[in-house]
Amino acid sequence: MKTIKGPAIFLAQFAGDEAPYNTLDNMCQWAASLGYKAVQIPAWDTRLIDIKKAGESKDYCDELKGTAAKYGLDISEISTHLQGQLVAVNPAYDSMFDGFAPKEVHGNPKARTAWAIDQMKSAASASQNLGIDVMGTFSGSLLFHTVYPWPQRPSGLVEAGFKELADRWLPILDHAKDCGVEVCYEIHPGEDLHDGVTFERFLAATGNHSSAKILYDPSHFVLQQLDYLQYIDFYHEYIRMFHVKDAEFNPNGKSGVYGGYQDWVDRPGRFRSLGDGQVDFRSIFSKLSQYGYDGWAVLEWECCIKSPEQGAAEGAPFIADHIIEVTEKTFDDFAGKDTDEKELRNILGLD
């Protein structure tokens, strides 16, 4: 068993143009003042990191680490969710996802995909330069618009989709492996990797690539009505990152899992600030500790009711209270005694 590290905080939902959310230095000072021990940096936010430069310069990465260390913080991981999303985009979503990429590749899906793959490779190199062996991302999606099979999916469509997805990711996974970095896919609705079965499909399509791992976020399983505790039992050996995010699911006679196209506050399934939702974090932290997860517990704050300032302030003590300092001895050791083979055979009635 291992003790989980934390609390850490994902900066993406807080970053902005006003202090203290406008620079990495300011955000590190802010996070440390709230009791966090590490920050997770979004690779797309140029106010916080130049991911291309970070992939090319260890000196620059040392400067980033020094900025965090100045306030007693580590950099837990780099997040590449927006770039990962663009590795695979169904044409139906082209115009909406163009906003994740620079203007020079807008309206050019092939150029956008090439840009995203290059960004992902830079992020793997940057992680290596930072001394970090994992990074978080989204898989992107070619198939999610067919998730509910009407009209009936043509035979072979799913297999073809996952083959293409794997083909796009394999150069990234190979580069990440060369860097000693594992790519942790956040299992998330809207992505082709949105549950256990789809992760297994992708893993098989990549030839069980050793760098393909999981970012575990139970909130997305609540909204799908998937057993997020048993998920840990099934996939604990792949879970290498952990977003601590709460959610609730309150279905009614008018709306359920799909939400009726409503705004977040009116949906039956919605994200909540830590402690305000339905996620059983006591059991999650217990299971992850039992299975030896020794990565960071990272607050990802998203709530349709509570302010981000309050959510961030409450998040650090909430996570700290749930981290289990794992035991190094058995609770009934006091009643034990040394035995030899003769005594063991005697207890079994063999002599």
Per-residue pLDDT in tens (0 to 9) along the chain, 351 residues: 889 999 999 999 999 999 999 999 999 999 999 999 999 999 999 999 999 999 999 999 999 999 999 999 999 999 999 999 999 999 999 999 999 999 999 999 999 999 999 999 999 999 999 999 999 999 999 999 999 999 999 999 999 999 999 999 999 999 999 999 999 999 999 999 999 999 999 999 999 999 999 999 999 999 999 999 999 999 999 999 999 999 999 999 999 999 999 999 999 999 999 999 999 999 999 999 999 999 999 999 999 999 999 999 999 999 999 999 998 776 666 567 777 888 888 889 997
Q: Would you list the domain boundaries of the chain?
A: 5-347
Burial 158-185 (b: 16+ CB within 10 A, else e): beebbeebbebbbebbebbbebebbbbb
| Distance, CA of 239 to CA of 249 (rounded, Å) | 24
| Distance, CA of 299 to CA of 43 (rounded, Å) | 17
Whether residue 67 contacts residue 24, with contact meaning beta carbons closer than 8 Å, is answered with yes
* Domain covering 5-347, topology: TIM Barrel (3.20.20)
